[in-house]
Structure 1
């Protein structure tokens, strides 16, 4: 048991209250998910940060947030929209700094359409990376300054390597890779992407964060671990070969099933 990886959780401040003892028991990594809505970022979020920090008194695990993502991508062509996205990313990092957070999740810009069409247009791959740089350069510098990693999470990604190329293009330790198991399983089952362990192997030492959720390969279910048909043995076997110590964050719809997710992985001898 001591050698098994320790699972963390994606929670909001309310569910952190419920699972606080479980989080402190093994000093589990935490991702707070209260800070992605624009309404929150544009408002007074400091009391929520203060409440979280009070609940985390005695917690020594790593802490981060899910960054803003709804309604935009990180590669906008429209210059006015780009300014809004730049603002949102910096707002998220401001929260991270106040919280003492060291990771912020950013969504991949690569769609299923991209997979079939980027090579249909001359220079399209380089242009996509250029647009991401125009949007993210200030956020990357800010992340470097505050010791935070921007981890790029697969969404529709069919090619495990495209966003690795994107992350590498920044030449910064502040830009790394995240894998969402349910998203990868959806892409595998519905669009012909490789299985999840291939995504892990592709990321290698650049993998610093994972969202662990179970699914059926058809939709983005966010079921408790053990409720879908993901081959968890293959996933954890691949994780076990890494030396990058990725945060293993259970991200499920029903936060009440966080303990059950841990128990199911413990029963398989995969995690604790």
Structure 2
């Protein structure tokens, strides 16, 4: 390095007023001025001469005033703040989703290729497995969106497409909410009928079945089969609830030629409509 060049750097540095919050290497190059490719070399030279303080952290440099440098020993590296490229919460979600994406990439790699009518069985199995993994990814997205309502769904979708641009089109085939132009809200997964707890008593189970049947009522044999309750026990419980006014019972048939049988109804639905021949009129 020529002495004349170094003396020019010394002269320029003498007129620099570095702010307390420092400059980035590019900001230092603009203030000197010099080409950005030479800025770090110049900063290291001026740092050795104690005209400035160059703090390096995780490969990123920042220039501070020389007065901020400790007098003895190696100076403590001042934190170099870099704005995050992606929300850390979204980055954590992408880490959770990577195993699912890896399975999908492996499945896509097993595609035998060829015409549409070749290897149809193998292609169908792969397509079904991909749909399952896409559903699993959608479940992850629903859980994340519910846990972090402040993060827009569009940001979540953009992060997925940015991270896996080759796999997301496959996901979008079965999960349109995750397509590039998807909706602003993730549709809730429809919930199935709630299963009765095994801890319910026979009485509680029977009332639950009758209430779930609605105005159409439910036959005694259906309660016995669903609830694993003996038929005579169903009759005893039904008589007890009927005496209490909770339910009604009727000897009806549901078809013109069917046999008559006991059917239970909740009292809140009123009297059951019974037509000619004892046939129940379905409303």
TM-score if structure 2 supplies the norm length? 0.21
Structure whose alpha-carbon radius of gyration is higher: 2
More helix by share: 2
TM-score if structure 1 supplies the norm length? 0.22
